[in-house]
């Protein structure tokens, strides 16, 4: 089945994000189509990743169900591998990023001499990929264009972007979800390194999880087996995330800076990325990934 790169159905309220196409089914429900697009450094690439959309959509649904006793979510149904129906919610304009290890953006900041991230002090003497003394919250803005930017919790409240009560509620929910995600990963021999959550308010006032959660697009995982040996040797632990793609891009001179031409992703890399997404799905779910080969359009037509 060819990659699903975009949709353009005659439904109201169409919004195209980096990975998802969203439509309004009615006043209460949204249709979310997770495509095979891939982004890195806030740039969307022209080439798709086979089955990536289905991996993300089905993993998100799995974790919505596995965490609904910790935090309510917006999911109503998953009628197709690429498709989900959600309750409509007023989305908070921030990503609530929780970090449990010195990795990714935090590691790059630390290696450059930074010892504060989003207003949170980082202890000295940390080794690359080392577990932090306790998980930390490092929020980021949700940029409509360009790069998301770090923002301190105190600045969010001081600038009136969210009130303190909402910030407290969202932070508590993010930390509880990170703890549950850590436990679920441990059951599968994985370490949840960092992840981001997005929240929204339903019309009845409840704060719920929206968008995907604990997927390879929103999270980073290390394999527990061999982690300590890599840490002692100063090498990068074996991981399942998009970080290896970011590293490939950096090695090829692309970091998403203004004026940089977006590279073409070679077929060999796309196949490797697809295999890694499926590997993470099977590692987290504990069962083989079987693609949903039904035409997406037929599923959507049955819903409207």
CATH code at position 30 = 3.30.200.20
Is 167 buried (19+), middle (13-18) or exposed (0-12) by CB count in 10 A? buried
Using the 8-state DSSP alphabet, how is residue 265 labeled? P
Position 255 in a domain: no
Whether 8 is in a domain gets the answer no
Residues 166 and 85 in one domain: no
Q: According to the model, what pLDDT value does residue 1 have?
A: 63
Query: Is position 37 within any domain?
Result: yes
Clarify whether residues 67 and 198 are in a common domain. no
The pLDDT, as a whole number, for residue 259 is 87
Same domain for 67 and 41, yes or no, is yes
Same domain, 60 and 131: no
Q: How is the beta sheet containing 20-24 ordered, strand by strand? A: 15-16, 20-24, 29-34, 83-87, 75-80
What confidence score (pLDDT) does residue 198 get? Answer: 97
Write down the pLDDT at residue 74: 97
* Same structural domain, 115 and 137: yes
Residues with Cβ < 8 Å from 268, sequence gap 6 or more? none
Q: Per the structure, how many domains does the chain have?
A: 2
189 and 236 inside one domain: yes
Q: Is 289 exposed, middle or buried (0-12, 13-18, 19+ CB in 10 A)?
A: middle
Answering whether pTM is above 0.85, one says: yes
Residues 137 and 210 in one domain: yes
253-270 pLDDT, tens digit per residue, is 999 898 899 999 999 999
**In terms of domains, do 169 and 83 share one?**
no
Count of H-run helices and E-run strands, the chain: 8, 17
Residue at 10 is within a domain: no
Instruction: Examine residue 138 and state whether it is found in any structural domain, yes or no.
Output: yes
pLDDT, averaged per 10 consecutive residues of the chain (304 residues), comes to: 88 90 94 95 92 96 97 97 97 96 95 96 96 97 68 95 97 98 96 97 96 90 96 93 82 90 94 90 93 92 83
Range of the domain at 201: 93-240
Residues 216 and 183 in one domain: yes
Residues 115 and 174 in one domain: yes
Give φ, ψ of 302 to 5 degrees: -75, -15
What's the rounded Cα separation, in Å, for the pair 5 and 36? 6
């Amino acid at each position: 089945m060819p990659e699903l790169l975009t949709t353009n159905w005659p439904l109201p309220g169409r919004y195209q994000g980096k990975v998802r196409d969203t439509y309004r089914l009615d006043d209460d429900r949204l249709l979310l189509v997770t495509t095979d697009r891939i982004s890195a450094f806030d740039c969307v690439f022209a080439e798709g990743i086979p089955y990536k959309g289905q991996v993300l959509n089905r993993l998100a649904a799995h974790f919505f169900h596995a965490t609904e006793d910790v935090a309510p979510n917006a999911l109503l149904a998953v009628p197709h591998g690429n498709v989900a129906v959600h309750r409509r919610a007023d989305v908070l304009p921030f990503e609530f990023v929780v970090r449990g290890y010195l990795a990714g953006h935090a590691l790059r900041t630390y290696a450059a001499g930074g010892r504060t991230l989003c207003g949170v002090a980082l202890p000295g003497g940390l080794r690359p990929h080392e577990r932090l003394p306790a998980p930390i919250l490092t929020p980021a803005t949700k940029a409509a264009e360009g790069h998301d930017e770090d923002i301190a919790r105190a600045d969010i409240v001081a600038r009136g972007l969210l009130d303190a009560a909402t910030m407290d509620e969202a932070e508590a929910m993010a930390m509880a979800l990170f703890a549950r995600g850590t436990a679920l990963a441990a059951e599968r021999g994985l370490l949840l390194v960092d992840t981001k959550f997005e929240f929204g308010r339903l019309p009845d006032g409840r704060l719920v999880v929206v968008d995907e959660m604990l997927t390879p697009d929103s999270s980073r995982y290390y394999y527990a087996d061999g982690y300590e040996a890599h840490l002692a040797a100063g090498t990068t632990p074996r991981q399942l995330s998009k970080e290896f793609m970011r590293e490939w891009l950096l090695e090829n001179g692309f970091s998403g800076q203004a004026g940089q031409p977006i590279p073409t992703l070679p077929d060999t890399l796309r196949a490797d990325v697809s295999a890694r997404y499926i590997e993470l799905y099977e590692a987290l779910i504990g069962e083989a990934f079987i693609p949903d080969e039904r035409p997406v359009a037929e599923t959507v037509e049955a819903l409207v």
